[in-house]
Amino acid sequence: MSHYDIAIIGLGPAGSTLARLLSPKFRVAALDKKIFGAESSGFRKPCGGLISGDAQKALASFDMTLPKDVLVDPQIFAVKTIDLKNKLIRHYQRFYINLDRHKFDLWLESIIPPAVEIHAGAVCVSIQKTSGGFRVTYIENGERRTLTTKYIIGADGANSIVRRTFYPQKKIRNYLSIQQWFPETHPNPFYSCIFDPENTDCCSWSISKDQQFIFGGAFPVQGARARFERQKKKLERIGFRFGKPLKTEACLVLRPSSFRDFCCGESGVFLIGEAAGFISPSSLEGISSAIYSARDLATVLNSGRGSLNRRYFAKTRHIRVKLFLKILKCPFMYQPFLRKLVMKSGICAIKINSLEN
């Protein structure tokens, strides 16, 4: 059995950033479901694959540039916002980068220093507290294996086994995110954000990507698939083209609703990214908070001073405050009457000019 200073569960944007920034003085193991270098096998994060302005700023803070092969066509500069209840459509300027999310995750993993021991295609099945730290049991290449570690890092997203093991009482509001891919048949590619309170109190989205069309949404877990299909039928009536899906993806997504929902960990357990509840309740964007929380934890662990858990909690205050402000913003997006007032006002909306005579 191998012993490590730090074990990271999950190598999405949060886990990969932490692994990259940790001091080489640590012996680090990272377990990840993805198979490195494999684009057609292993775990793939169901995600629309847009990098928001906040996430772009987070990457820029490390002077990072995206490689060309993670980008996809088209790059679109406005979001078509559709309010099905109030029968309103507005276009708003947004500076998203359209990319292949799986390739993006693999790229982040590829720049982790070789000193970090990566276990690809590995699934963590249990974590136990021991006198000297933690015992982690995982499945890799069909074999059951075990490692021990002084610190355990949960970077494993909404359904984090680390959070479920040590903080089962942290029941953050959650949804089932369902996403389907179709051949692109719309005459003009577009992004959209859809509000449909009849089927969900969260949002849905569509994205054109490399001759394919993605439609997805976050729905209450109970009856999620039926809600998804009902919403597709409503959108078909206003011009959406679906056809036969090429594939269907689904995953759990969190949506914090108060300060109490954020969980940073204690006693040698640390949570970063969505595992900590660090995801926007208004847009469900989580890459920026994943990167910033990983940076903050790396700074704390590398220093080795004081109470590490307490210092990490204090250092991530800026993330919690920012996300709480987004909680306050939610009524203006999700309460139908307030949303109607905002959209009908035309504030910040773009007038789409037609070339037809």
> Nearest CA to 217 among 188, 176, 254, 271?
176
Q: Write down the pLDDT at residue 34.
A: 83
Residue ranges of the domains in the chain? 2-341
3-class DSSP state for residue 200? coil
Q: Write down the pLDDT at residue 250.
A: 94
Q: Write down the pLDDT at residue 145.
A: 96
User: What's the CATH class of domain 2-341?
Assistant: alpha beta
Q: Write down the pLDDT at residue 36.
A: 65
The span from the CA of 301 to the CA of 313, in Å, is 12
The span from the CA of 154 to the CA of 52, in Å, is 24
| Ranges in the chain, pLDDT < 50 | 38, 40, 356-357
Q: Write down the pLDDT at residue 42.
A: 59
| pLDDT tens sequence across 244-272 | 999 999 999 999 999 999 999 999 999 99
The span from the CA of 248 to the CA of 179, in Å, is 6
Q: Write down the pLDDT at residue 357.
A: 41
Phi-psi region of 267 (alpha: psi -120 to 50; beta: other; left: phi over 0): left
Q: Pull the structure tokens for residue 185.
A: 């048949």
Q: What is the DSSP letter of 352?
A: P
| pLDDT tens sequence across 75-130 | 989 999 999 999 999 999 988 999 999 999 999 999 999 999 999 999 999 999 99
Q: Write down the pLDDT at residue 48.
A: 83
